[in-house]
Amino acid sequence: MKGTVYKSTGSWYTVKSQQGDFYQCRIKGKFRIGGIKSTNPVAVGDHVAFKVETKGDETVGVIHKIESRDNYIIRKSVNLSKQTHIIAANIDVAFLLVTFNNPPTFTTFIDRFLITAEAYHVKAVLLFNKIDLYNEDELLEIKYLAALYREIGYDCIGISAKTGKNVDKVKALMQDKVSVFSGHSGTGKSTLVNIIEANLDLKTAKISEQHQQGQHTTTFAEMYDLSFGAQIIDTPGIRGFGVVEIDKEELGDYFPEFFELKQECKFNNCLHINEPQCAIKDALENQEIAWSRYKSYLQILEGEDDGYRKDIYKK
Ligand code: GDP
Ligand code: ZN
């Protein structure tokens, strides 16, 4: 039988079959997918093949195959073991809730999220929430930001989780897809998920900041079916969407607007800092690349991760 993993406890996996029935499954044998070694070989979102075994009145599934993944998001534990934990697999869309204030979401945080999504090969969408709250000046700023990110190629939607404005557009992007929601605490994740589907009680929004800092405490993801034909993967781990380690030389690859330009740099290993005849610096001068994006690029390049982390965990 074939199915999708909806929940995992580490030793048991809840799998929904293509027929729509749920089975409690164990795994058989050793799996190593895509050459990564992780604490959990099977993750929520995985497409698996399993056999059903009946012993007495007990029915148990045994997973014997994992289909190759479109993508997956991981967390490296910060304790000594440095083990990789696969948080979830086969994510179609990662939404980031952005608020201009209450709480502020800085562009460096947005960019870090987008770069991570690019590195994971997950489509990212920015939701500018609480548009019912803002005055004209603030709305102009949001429009400017949305235009900036749209130009790069990201979908941006101004929404109000409170009034329901444009929530239909969010649902349209979720249709028949697997989504995750991220954003600072207070940006409106639970309010939005609630207006999308009542009675869904997600951890994403709930987990305490304190708890999240203890990253070695393993938190398992869970997938939910929504009534209009969509799935949400709920996991406290993707609040800040994880932190990927990216090589300095590779970083520019995850800025889509850098991509074509950097072929024109004099040096093919150009880091776009002080090198002569750098097409990225030229584009910056000509305002073809936004300063805020370049600033984020430099910050990540220089490893100023601390600000980012504080950003994530800040209440
Ligand atoms: P979470 O921490 O991301 O889950 O954020 P919540 O959903 O708990 O929302 C935080 C606060 O913002 C709550 O008081 C919500 O009522 C409020 N809120 C959420 N979305 C909106 C919105 O679109 N407009 C307004 N005015 N308030 C909102
Ligand atoms: Zn360059």
Report whether pLDDT(81) > 80: no
Arithmetic mean of pLDDT, 27-45: 74
> Which residues 6+ apart lie within 8 Å of 239 measured at CB?
182, 183, 185, 204, 207, 212, 312
H/E stretch holding 117 reads helix 107-120
Predicted-complex ipTM score: 0.99
Rounded to whole angstroms, the maximal C-alpha distance in the chain is 75
pLDDT band at 137 (very low <50, low <70, confident <90, very high): very high
Cβ 47 under 6 angstroms from ligand 1 = no
Q: Quick one: which of 215, 247, 255, 184 has its CA closest to 87?
A: 215
Q: Which of 180, 184, 191, 194 to mutate to test the pocket of ligand 1 (most atoms within 8 A of CB)?
A: 191
Q: Whose CA is nearest to atom 7 of ligand 1?
A: 188
Q: How far is the CA of 63 from the centre of ligand 2 (A)?
A: 48
Considering the domain architecture, whether residues 256 and 281 belong to the same structural domain is answered as: yes
Q: Is 243 domain-assigned?
A: no
Arithmetic mean of pLDDT, 58-71: 93
pLDDT tens digits, one per residue of 82-107: 677 788 999 999 999 999 998 999 99
3-state SS assignment for residue 169: helix
Tokens found for residue 129: 């929430």
CB-based contact 10:218 (threshold 8 Å)? yes
CB atoms under 10 Å from CB of 68, counted, come to 10
Question: What's the confidence (pLDDT) of residue 135?
Answer: 96
* DSSP-assigned states of every residue in 119-135: HHT-EEEEEE--TTT--
**Which region among 42-51, 205-214, 253-262, 282-291 has the lowest average model confidence (pLDDT)?**
205-214
Query: Is the CA virtual torsion 1, 201, 311, 79 positive or negative?
Result: negative
Cβ 183 under 6 angstroms from ligand 1 = yes
Considering the domain architecture, whether residues 233 and 254 belong to the same structural domain is answered as: no
Q: Show which of 172, 203, 238 is a domain's final residue.
A: 238
CB-based contact 234:202 (threshold 8 Å)? yes
Considering the domain architecture, whether residues 221 and 136 belong to the same structural domain is answered as: yes
Q: Give all strands (DSSP E) within 30-81, no chain letters.
A: 47-55, 58-66, 72-76
pLDDT tens digits, one per residue of 281-291: 999 999 999 99
Considering the domain architecture, whether residues 232 and 295 belong to the same structural domain is answered as: no
d(CA 60, CA 229): 27
Which CATH number covers residue 233?
3.40.50.300
Question: What's the confidence (pLDDT) of residue 41?
Answer: 84
- The residue among 264 and 307 whose pLDDT is bigger is 264
Cβ 188 under 6 angstroms from ligand 1 = yes
Q: How many angstroms separate the first and last alpha carbons of the chain?
A: 45
What Cα–Cα distance (Å) separates residue 191 from each residue in 131, 138, 178, 261, 275? 14, 21, 19, 40, 47
Report whether pLDDT(60) > 90: yes
Single-letter code of the amino acid located at 77: S
CB-based contact 95:127 (threshold 8 Å)? yes
pLDDT tens digits, one per residue of 108-128: 999 999 998 998 899 999 999
Which CATH number covers residue 30?
2.40.50.140
- The residue among 231 and 211 whose pLDDT is bigger is 231
Number of domains in the chain: 3
**Which region among 140-144, 208-212, 259-263, 290-294 has the lowest average model confidence (pLDDT)?**
208-212
Domain that holds residue 278: 248-313
Q: Which ligand is nearest to the CA of 130?
A: 1
pLDDT tens digits, one per residue of 181-219: 999 889 999 899 999 998 776 665 454 444 444 444 446
Distance of alpha carbon 287 from the chain centroid? 29
Considering the domain architecture, whether residues 116 and 185 belong to the same structural domain is answered as: yes
| Beta strands 230-234; 2-8: pairing state | unpaired
